[in-house]
């Protein structure tokens, strides 16, 4: 009989980018005060992949594979086996979580968020964000920080 393992997706790993102390639940999971923002999964391969994404941002999966000392195909195969999605998609979902949090919880400029996440240009980040959320980064920020506010009226765009 084949054993079923829980799939490890970015939402299971990503905790926060904000400077804060871990919650009691996170402490119970082994997160210490000097954590890097990722929840330990118990799988060193996934933990390293998540750490590298946080550290280097938007890079090709071959970049991460090289650092991890594995072939790109092996990285993708392992991530797909553990999560059900490709390494590329896993990276994108992780970066999207980080982008959303930076937009919601910080006052960083969108250009700075783009650079922090490893995007070559702010316009590339904006296209990535819009493709995944159907919203511009600045719209996301306003809607999350001030829910219900009519940003079009506030910024005199449209009637």
- Residue 155: the pLDDT is 46
**pLDDT for res 156:** 42
Question: Which residues contact residue 85 at a Cβ distance below 8 angstroms, ignoring those fewer than 6 apart?
Answer: 9, 79, 93
What pLDDT, on the 0 to 100 scale, is given for residue 10? 78
For the whole prediction, is pTM greater than 0.85?
A: no
For residue range 4-51, list pLDDT tens digits in order: 556 777 777 776 655 556 667 666 766 666 555 677 787 888 888 988
Q: Could you name the CATH architecture of 10-154?
A: Orthogonal Bundle (1.10)
Domain boundaries, the chain: 10-154
Packing angle between helix 87-105 and helix 137-145, nearest 10 degrees? Answer: 50
Cβ 98 vs Cβ 14: under 8 Å: yes
């Amino acid at each position: 009989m084949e054993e079923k393992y829980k799939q490890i997706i970015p939402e299971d790993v990503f905790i926060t980018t904000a400077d804060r102390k871990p919650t009691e639940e996170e402490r119970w999971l082994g997160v210490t005060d000097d954590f890097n923002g990722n929840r330990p999964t118990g799988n060193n391969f996934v933990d390293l992949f998540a750490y590298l994404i946080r550290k280097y941002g938007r890079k090709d999966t071959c970049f991460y594979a090289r650092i991890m000392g594995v072939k790109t195909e092996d990285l993708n195969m392992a991530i797909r086996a553990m999560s059900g999605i490709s390494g590329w998609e896993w990276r994108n979902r992780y970066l999207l979580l980080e982008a959303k949090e930076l937009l919601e919880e910080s006052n960083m400029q969108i250009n700075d968020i783009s650079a922090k996440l490893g995007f070559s240009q702010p316009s590339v980040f904006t296209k990535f964000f819009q493709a995944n959320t159907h919203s511009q980064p600045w719209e996301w920020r306003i809607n999350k920080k001030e829910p219900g506010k009519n940003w079009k009226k506030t910024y005199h765009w449209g009637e």
